[in-house]
Structure 1
Amino acid sequence: MTAHGGVNCYSVWEGSTATVAKVTVMDTLPPLATGETAAPSPGQLRELYSLMVAVRHLDSSAVAWQRQGIIPGYAPELGQEAAQVGSGYAVDLTRDFVFPTYREMGVARAMGVDMVAYMATHKATWHGGLYDPMESRLAPIQAVVAGSVLHAVGWAHGQTLTGTADGKLGVALSYFGDGASSQGDVHEAMNFAALMKAPVVFFVQNNGWAISVPTERQVAGGSVAARAQGYGIPAIQVDGNDVVAVLEATRHALAHCRSGNGPALVEAMTYRRGPHSTSDDPGRYRSLAEERDGGGEDPLERFRQRLLADGIADEAFFAAALAAAKAEEEQIRAGIQALGPRPGNEMFDLVFQETTPALQAQGASWREESEHV
């Protein structure tokens, strides 16, 4: 380890003896007190793998559902399972609150959110999903790019105002991508969070692409983690394809915020192996060879090999995990298809606590045209 201007740079050798890559990881998070976080147990490692398999299978199935007309649209996360499961698994469901974008299905699954209720949003049967945000600790899916980052900071600031009995704050975990990091909302959120010492973890999934624009063409400063220094926010850049590394980095950041030290940023370096959404054609801006080379080693297969090598799991376990994932997907698909359409008047009735004359007029016009009343 070498220090450069207060930044700890760890040289990490990855891969087999045949193909070894050197990765430099930036970490400006202050060290934790001894015993503040513990390494995952063998049982937890097996659970992480099972979650990643479930997420991988549901994700590929959701793409198929869109092609079959079961859901109108979906944002795939192929290749980002480790980043999502590892970070979602770190959440304290008794006190933290997660603010997702439209691509955090893996986070929701790791948090134990009812997946039929979660996927209902992708069927467009209910704005914000059928799950209870307060009970699940997962805010409604946010389709506005970087929109939920400000919401997360507001919630986190509320924690500093109200306090807790044990002095340990609840932490907001805000997700966004490398593309969203170029939005002005992110600057405002980070600046406010740093000034007010809001307990919020900015979790950046840097998947290499802002839809069709590669990271190097839209992120100045080299990385999103490097930008955090400009706000006085400690940050860690982690291998987003290593689920254990993501889990430990997220736990570190959460513990930092929970102790009243203000915000932190985690940048998980991963790769979006598929399209930005089911309406996107990645062949228009990258070749299959570029996609294959950029994706690197599959995070699921990589973790499987690690569990095998460490004697933590065997082939029987992996087969059972896949069988459970397939059964779960069938149950979720059946639940999605059983959901009936929502009444159209909800578009106007559930906008504001007190309706407005304009909404009343729009609702009346819609009912006249659609319901002939």
Structure 2
Amino acid sequence: MTTPNLTDPRLEGTFCILNENGAPRQPDLVPTDTARLRAMYRAMRRARIFDERALVLQRQGRLGVYPLFGGMEATQVGAVLALNTPHDWLAPTYRGTGCALAYGLPMHKVILSWRAHQGGSRLDPDSHLLPFYTPIANQLPHTTGIALAEKRLAASEGREPKVALAFVGDGGTSEGDFHVGLNFAAVFKVPAIFVIENNGWAISTPTSSQTAATTLASRGEGYGMPSVRVDGNDLLAVAHVTAEAVARARRGAGPTLIEAITYRVLPHTSSDDPARYRDSAEADEWREKRDPGMRLRTYLSGRGLWSDAQEEEMVVEVDAELRSELELADAAPGIQPWELLEHVFETPTPEMKEQQAELRALHSEALHPGGRA
């Protein structure tokens, strides 16, 4: 069910519903629920606005190093919108702020996370969202393990399984954990979906220097799981293929690998200078011609479903939300050194207990040298 998009070599053979100009290639696959269409667009724009504001906060010294995702939000938000949140599981990468926001993580939690505050890791126990993963690809074996547990629980309780969705960058597909996670998932037919955010760059290494394979999706064939390549800047297409993968997982047919072709138009992080390793013309072309938000907005506007006034109103609402959430983050109490070891294991190991006790002692000594009060 592939509709070729030949406007860029990387997009050849990808599945899409709306082309880069917002025109439907497959009108029958556009959701008929207009309220849902507007909600999908709003979720994507909300994530992008946060990303833009987060960079400002970082420049003001109010966030640590921040991994930007602007221009890739259709992949992140589109895939998450196919989940049943907060029941299904989500394992984002360190660049997964857009995923987490779409899943339902409050903005103040995101802000605390990028301030290295423990409050950002203390997630709702009723949610199935995992913290941002910085080690490359190690969330894939974790996701497979979660999905296997859900498969067994569902069988014992006589219900459909919850699914587990994990993201990984194109660079992460070169890691051993990618092989371990996907191979295990396919062998045991677990209800998992793996989304490769192929944005063209693993920091400064282009995808062409990482693999001789024609596509990254083709790796799924080696593991014995269905694979699909999708235009990652088409929100509707990403949501569609992910929803198909979720349905497949729920009916016990096993995992799916999705390669979403997108582009990292912004720096790798707020501390990166991409001009040192790539031609800015390529990024400019993706930014100007393939912006995911403008693509869907053009379609909605053409159908009379979205206006400039609605856009302005939405931006005002998101900015107000961010100001309120920023106040919550700023009001969070400071953390103690030993709290850095919390929320690592459900039951702390003996070594961790010893380390926490040592940190408490060092802290007490610093406050009261020589034991003096």
TM-score range, shorter chain: 0.7 to 0.9
* Secondary structure of the structure 1 residue equivalent to 2:3: strand
- Determine if contact 2:86/2:127 at 8 Å carries over to the other structure: no
Deviates more, 1:144-153 or 1:332-341: 332-341
Q: Does 1:336 align with 2:332?
A: no
- Determine if contact 1:39/1:248 at 8 Å carries over to the other structure: no
Q: Which amino acid aligns with 1:11?
A: P
Provide the TM-score with structure 2 as the length reference. 0.87
Counterpart among 148, 158, 162 of residue 153 in structure 2: 162
Q: Which amino acid aligns with 1:355?
A: P
Pair 230,360 (structure 1): closer, same or farther in 2 beyond 3 Å: same
Q: Does 1:175 align with 2:167?
A: yes
Counterpart among 72, 79, 89 of residue 80 in structure 1: 72
Instruction: Structure 1 unaligned segments of length 5 or more: list them.
Output: 1-7, 28-36
**Aligned residue runs from structure 1 range 1-373, under 5 A:** 9-12=2-5, 23-25=12-14, 39=31, 41-93=33-85, 95-126=87-118, 129-132=121-124, 134-163=125-154, 165=157, 167-295=159-287, 296-348=289-341, 353-356=348-351, 359=355, 362-363=358-359, 366-367=362-363, 370-372=366-368
Distance 1:277 1:241 in 2: 20
Task: Name the residue aligned to 2:21.
Answer: none
CA RMSD of aligned residues (A): 2.6
Structure with higher strand content: 1
Q: Which amino acid aligns with 1:223?
A: T
Provide the TM-score with structure 1 as the length reference. 0.87
Distance 1:228 1:261 in 2: 15
What's the CA shift for 1:173?
A: 0.1
What's the CA shift for 1:290?
A: 2.7
- Determine if contact 1:238/1:269 at 8 Å carries over to the other structure: yes
What's the CA shift for 1:11?
A: 2.4
Deviates more, 1:183-192 or 1:116-125: 116-125
Pair 104,310 (structure 1): closer, same or farther in 2 beyond 3 Å: same
Deviations 1:265-298 (A, max 9, x none): 1111111111111121111111322321344421
* Corresponding pairs, count: 352
* Secondary structure of the structure 2 residue equivalent to 1:73: coil
Task: Name the residue aligned to 2:19.
Answer: none
Pair 94,360 (structure 1): closer, same or farther in 2 beyond 3 Å: closer
Percent of aligned positions that are identical: 34
Pair 84,282 (structure 1): closer, same or farther in 2 beyond 3 Å: same
What's the CA shift for 1:368?
A: 5.6
Q: Which amino acid aligns with 2:144?
A: V
Distance 2:130 2:96 in 1: 11
Q: Which amino acid aligns with 2:14?
A: V
